[in-house]
Amino acid sequence: MLAICVILLRYYNQIDHNNSVKKWDIITRKGDERIYTQLVRLIIIDEIHLLHDDRGPILEAIIARTNRLIKTTRSHVRFVGLSATLPNYEDIAEFLNVNSIGLFYFDNSYRPVPLEQEYIGITEKKAIKRFHIMNDLVYEKVMEHAGKNQVRTFIS
């Protein structure tokens, strides 16, 4: 049996990733809360590919602050970054100071069922027209596979 203590840092029922990140940011900034940060041995960042969204700068600050804490206190903290869509995983691993021995990347060959990917480019410059085209294409593709296959769409 492992001697592990898990502390939940939020007091609400609904998951709010922004608040979790912001709360940890506040805790790691405060000097009087140092006891919490020194007890942490594992930080799991789910959907790490979202470093470019609104929580990205806060997440980057937390990671940088934690890395500095690791270096100054010589503590052992493991980062686990999870993402289903992270083409630049090596860059993220470098940012997290992950040793190459501890870097794991699971490509499609690990999937129990093969994944079929289709990329569709839209060249329309006008935003409203582009959104209408995207909506139409997504609808067509979903209807093409409805009842036959599972479908997941990523739109950017």
- What pLDDT does 11 receive? 40
Task: Supply the pTM of this predicted model.
Answer: 0.61
Could you give the angle at the alpha carbon of 84 between the alpha carbons of 19 and 129, nearest 5°?
A: 85
Instruction: To the nearest 10°, report the CA torsion of 102, 15, 17, 127.
Output: 120
Provide the percentage of residues in the chain whose pLDDT is more than 90.
9
- What pLDDT does 118 receive? 83
- What pLDDT does 102 receive? 85
pLDDT band at 12 (very low <50, low <70, confident <90, very high): very low
Domains annotated on the chain, with CATH: 1-105 (3.40.50.300), 113-156 (no CATH)
**What tens digit of pLDDT does each residue of 23-54 get?**
777 777 776 656 667 777 888 888 888 787 77
Which whole number is the average pLDDT over 66-80?
Answer: 82
Mean pLDDT estimate for the chain? 79
Provide the percentage of residues in the chain whose pLDDT is more than 70.
83
pLDDT band at 4 (very low <50, low <70, confident <90, very high): low
Residue 152: is its pLDDT beyond 80? no
- What pLDDT does 15 receive? 45
- What pLDDT does 124 receive? 92
Which whole number is the average pLDDT over 80-108?
Answer: 86
CB count in 10 Å sphere of residue 40: 16
- 42-46 and 78-82 as β-strands: parallel, antiparallel, unpaired? parallel
- What pLDDT does 5 receive? 58
For residue 70, count CB atoms less than 10 angstroms from its CB and return exposed for 0-12, middle for 13-18, buried for 19 or more: middle
